[in-house]
Amino acid sequence: MICPLSGRFVAFDAEFSHADELGGELTSLIGSVDTHLLLRDVLVDLPGRDSVRDFLAKDGDVLRDYESQNVDTVVPDFSSSAALEFEGQTESLQIYSLSTPETVGFMLVQLNDLNGGQRVLKEVLRSDGKRIKTENCWLTSNRTADHSMRHTLSLFDANPTGSYRIVFQDPGSQPKPPVLEAIADRTVVEGQIVSFSVAAADPDGTVPSLAASPLPATAQFTDEGCGRGIFSWFPSVGQAGSYTIIFSAFDGTFTVTRRATINVCSEGDSDCDGMTDSWELLCFGSLSRDGRGDFDGDGATDFDEFWRNSDPTRSNAPGIPQIVSPADKSQVEDVSPEITVRNGKDPDPEDIITHEFELYGENPAWSRSSQGEKALRGAMRRPAGPFPVPFGRTVGTSSGFERPTEGVSARGPTEASS
């Protein structure tokens, strides 16, 4: 949890539960509550690591880095062995040198901010030329017990060389990133051209350079050099699909990006719903259907009906089977009760109807034997139309259930699918 308010945590706790539909406690990866006080979202930039930020947090009295790649490492605090010294000033910039112990592995240093929180960080350079990422060097302000403010400079690094150059600047002189205008998604049909402009401006007066990638085959993006670029593409037959393009603006310091998706519909499917226009017009009289609905309410979407080459305006769902006995919500005393089901009708006599049966009890004393598990999982297959199963015939039993005194409850109609 991250709180935007100023204050102090006096206590916190967490609890969790297991969803039965996901396997319950048996399959859960969480076994206990283990809370940590987060210090910072840092970024381990060692070779082979990903670009996902990691948790630098307190584990009791120990500081650990919890990486996104499931690596937990103790981070020593070398604050007492580090020193921050002022070196000089150039215009609005103040330069400091930070000395730390040389070590192998991670390191954290937290020292008083000699500027008292009045300046911001511009850059941090290590003696070997490495530029420390902004996630790993930061300034904080905390209220102390006497209600004064303590301003702190913190540095997290791996394999430190022992010497750093830290540059502060006035907040007003801090450069600002360029602003890239919003780019709308486009939909086009194969054989039709798509062209639009991309514009960006920089608050500091710099003309940003523009770029786009990855470009589809035959697509072009031209940076006109004035903060404006032109994207142009004539998708040919066979290039139907969805293309996500990243447009970027760079002002020499900052890079900002925006994503835009171009959907190319195939010939004959101008609305990109996967169903041909001619079929939609024949069946629905318009292109207003997107394939996700079920026009005739038979359980098959319009999209599925198209690929099955069936009529989306004529229901093909089988009738709901009826439980003849025992009655819904009734109880029976027989330890091996019989379930009697009457087949439902199906408009298509060629279809095969499958009935699935599930028996369950609400008392935890119920259990399934191996025979019962097999009986429950098996599906009774009967053709529709003139029913070959005589009315009243038993089609399933509960012989796989073992219980001493409980009754059994039959709930609702069984499912049927064609």
Q: Which tens digits make up the pLDDT trace of 230-266?
A: 999 999 988 999 999 999 999 988 999 999 999 999 8
Single out the residue of 408, 309, 324 nearest to residue 358, CA to CA.
408
Is the pLDDT at 282 greater than 60, yes or no?
yes
Question: Average per-residue pLDDT in the chain?
Answer: 80
pLDDT given for residue 4 in this prediction: 66
Q: What are phi and psi of 271, to 5 degrees?
A: -105, 5
pLDDT category at 217 given cuts 50, 70, 90 is very high
Mean pLDDT of 108-113: 96
Tell me the two tokens of residue 370.
């191996």
* Amino acid 6: pLDDT: 66
pLDDT at 86: 95
Query: pLDDT tens for residues 13-44?
Result: 777 787 777 777 777 777 777 778 889 999 99
pTM above 0.85, yes or no: no
Q: Which overall architecture, per CATH, does domain 84-173 show?
A: Sandwich (2.60)
C-alpha span between 211 and 230 (Å, rounded): 10
- In the predicted model, what is the mean pLDDT of residues 47-63? 91
Query: In what helix (H) or strand (E) does residue 149 lie, and over which residues does it extend?
Result: strand 149-158
Same topology between domain 84-173 and domain 179-265:
yes
How many C-beta atoms surround the C-beta of residue 143 within 10 A?
12
**Of all helices (H) and strands (E), which one includes residue 121?**
strand 120-126
Contact 418, 318 (CB under 8 A): yes
In the numeric block, the tokens 């039709």 are attached to 192
The contacts of residue 330 (CB under 8 Å, 6+ apart) are: 409, 410
Q: Which fold has domain 179-265?
A: Immunoglobulin-like (2.60.40)
Nearest to 243 by CA among 221, 220, 216: 216
Is the pLDDT at 375 greater than 80, yes or no? no
Question: pLDDT (tens digit, 9 = 90+) per residue, 398-417?
Answer: 333 333 323 333 333 333 33
Domain ranges of the chain: 84-173, 179-265, 270-315, 322-417
160 in Cβ contact with 101 (< 8 Å): yes
The residue whose two tokens read 């910072």 is 40
Q: Determine the residue type at 197.
A: S
Name which residue leads in pLDDT, 307 or 80: 80
Which 3-state string (H, E, C) describes 15-67?
CCCCCHHHCHHHHCCCCCCCCCEEEEEECCCCCCCCCCCEEEEEECCEEEEEC
Range 286-311 average pLDDT: 81
pLDDT, average across residues 221-234? 95
| Confidence at residue 378, expressed as pLDDT on a 0 to 100 scale | 35
- For residue 24, give the 3-state DSSP assignment: helix
Q: What sign does the CA torsion over 393, 399, 405, 406 have? A: negative
